[in-house]
A and B are shown apart, each in its own frame.
Chain A
Amino acid sequence: MNLIRIALRYIRNEILVLPTRVIAILFVIGLLVLPLLTQDMYILRILAIAAIFAIYAASWDLLSGFVGQVSFGHALFFGVAAYTTALLNLRFGISPILTIPIGALASVLVGLLVGIPCLRLKGPYLGLATLAFPIMLMGIIFIFPGFFGGELGISGITRLAAARLNEYYIAVVFMLILCFVMWKITDSKVGIIFHAIREDEIAVRASGINTIKYKLFAFCLSGFFAGLAGGLYTHFLRIAGPSMLAVLMSFQAIIWTIFGGVATIYGAVTGVFILFPTLEILRTFSDYRMLIFALIVLLVLRLMPQGITVFVRDKLERECPRCKVRNVFTRKECRVCYSSMK
């Protein structure tokens, strides 16, 4: 009884007071109860893929948005995990419960391999250098077509779960947990160091913090989450193909995240859940699909260059000038310290 009261009080005082939190909670509940309303296979597929891509985009945000290590080759992590997962499953018959984590560990390893040579690179140099890695890996895949399947990819993989509904819940629950974990990481002490490295790496080093260690950690962490996404995607689609390493795949993560709002994690999730289904809805326009999509991205970013979530958040909420707590834009005084919101 007491517990319920505490929970209710928490909901009233911490969630209902802020519209963005209400939206977030509604979104989570909506995703979880959606199968009660519709069991349409196509809708479940699109949302499941969107959930997987949300993990992928958020992992990019973790590395590039927070730590400032802008990667143009994020598909590397996704692709390495996808291929590892697929090969383990096909060649050794290992079940998805094991292949997906092993795939993610392979991505961590790759994160280290990429991170170490890239430690000295900064800004655009880093971004454009990372672009090279997936392209080189694609070259390797085409050198050993017998092993990696060349452009056909590796197919005949076990599916994620027996039924689409289970697959949907696996993807969505994974997404909710992993994105929450990523969000918490960025909120922790490590997250503050990540922020600081992005803002001024020299100052961080001057404070006696080993930035190299943290940067490598960020590469591994991001690789891990992107790898989980890659493994889930492979088992969902039952194929690992070279297009998972294509330049487009890397850029998609960037487009989604920046569209949603960079360095927020929830921005990446929002970006994917808006843009990915939009692209599907636009199938009705067949030939004009990509054009309309590109125009939407172009216009939204022209009007809200900081990303859609940040734009909406700043419209709906204001930060208290004194205690830095967020308030609904309608409030005249802060909900915590009662100082004026002017």
Chain B
Amino acid sequence: MSERAAKITPADDEQHDDQIADGAAPDAATETDAESERTPVTTGAEAVVRALENAGVEYAFGVQGGAIMPVYDALYDSDITHVTMAHEQGAAHAADAYGIVSGDPGVCLATSGPGATNLVTGIADADMDSDPLLALTGQVPTEFVGNDAFQETDTTGVTTPITKDNTFSSDSDRVGTDVSEAFALAREGRPGPTLVDLPKDVTNGETDREPDAPRVPDTYEVQERADSDIVAAAAERIETAARPVLLLGGGVIKGGASEACREFAIEHDIPVITTMPGLGSFPEDHELSLEMAGMHGTGYANMAITHCDTLIGIGTRFDDRLTGGIETFAPDAEVIHVDIDPAEISKNIHADYPLVGDAETVVEQLSEAVDSSPEATKWRAQCQQWKSDYSMAYDAPTDGPVQPEFVVEALDEATSDHAIVTTGVGQHQMWACQYWTFTEPRTWVSSHGLGTMGYGLPSAIGARLAADDDQEVVCVDGDGSFLMTLQGLSVAVRENLDITVAVLNNEYIGMVRQWQDAFFEGRHSASDYHWMPEFDKLAEAFGAKGFRIDDYDDVAESIDAAVAYDGPSVIDVHIDPDANVYPMVPSGGDNGQFALTEDQL
């Protein structure tokens, strides 16, 4: 487990909570010398910033504007580093990635109206992926609210369906505590985005109220331990399983349960599959790993999930990209489902053994309850057989166009096991899933649930600031995705962030082109992007380092140079425009019936 992952283990969290309970932490009067010297707050905006400081916030990402100006004015005197983004969508993605890598909520700021609406995509993205995120939005003064004032948007109304919780702050004495509470809520239990809307009169208003410590409201209850009777029954099921499989989802990483799951799988010799958000929870170079299942998962993972008799799903919400058609998903399996959110239990796939609780705690409960390992020698041999039957091999003749899989593998080679990968959305994202060998949690940063093109570069910025100095950050992007948020390069250059962007440039929005070829008779309606700029030159125009790859001879050299470059670099990789992603389970199809070639679709 990486040091960073260790940083957010529940043990530490408990300690943190204890401090808060003792009133030791954020009480300004009794704090350490440095903190007791802090000047008392005098305005709502100062209370907002104080709340962030109390929560240990180091970075905030945002864009200035009229309604949020009081908060920025208060930030001026704070030690929090504000990273000015080129677009608010980037601010939300950067904060989201910061949250994924660090485990603590990332913070983004925007003004009212257009600032707030520009955050919406990033908030929705964080919501779908249960990433901890705190969004602070300016709002027009309370007396204008509801009057269609200049730059007014009903931000809490707009974001209700895409936030874990949001608050319209209406009182300068309360605003700091609103922010503290929102911060705590974003992180606690199943993480997610929270938002506080800050009317200008509230942030400008006078107050001497220091914000309360980050603490979730009393009505928010999280169950840590699963029902012991069901644990016992599930343990018995595992002991007697003939064809068991562990399915690790994003919740494993968020819950800091990767280590516990590894130990459990290895002790009982149970093959492991991950979902896409679960990449990194289990080392893909381990013999038990079958890698990722789902629409573009490996053939062996999909065979195993289809034929298992006991499916232990941990921190997964059984998204349709994973399950394919419900009727044919793990059709022989009894399902043991561990999740901290009771609403995930039996939402999509009925859980025969519902285990509500914190992933790490429940896996430890299971570990204690399972007395003997399942007898699954034949099953494991079968899984290994599938691994060779359906190996992820590809042809890369050196006289042909560069194959994307080769580029992903070369990038993986050129970087350490701890390197962080971010992506846009499309074929390149799937190649990154398939051909990068993930071994550590919190090294995979991608837009899973929402599938947001343009996520790659801004998330690389957030990941870079959360990462350790010696962790490389590589963004594997698509040409279409990169084009959506590449103004973020200006930020990377200004902050001199050491990021390598590899644009897998096929002059198509390739995933759409692949579907058009498969399902729309090759009619390339609006998917042909022959008007792409030269990304290496564009990078140079921003002040970043540009590279271009046209054939295999350039690959190693350019990648090494780009990774070595101390600052943002962009490699425009001209790949085979016709390359497609396989295996593929057509939408709603049977996972076991994945296609290996186009004519099997």
Q: Do A and B come from one complex?
A: no
Instruction: Using CB atoms and an 8 Å cutoff, list the residues of chain A in contact with chain B.
Output: none
Instruction: Using CB atoms and an 8 Å cutoff, list the residues of chain B in contact with chain A.
Output: none
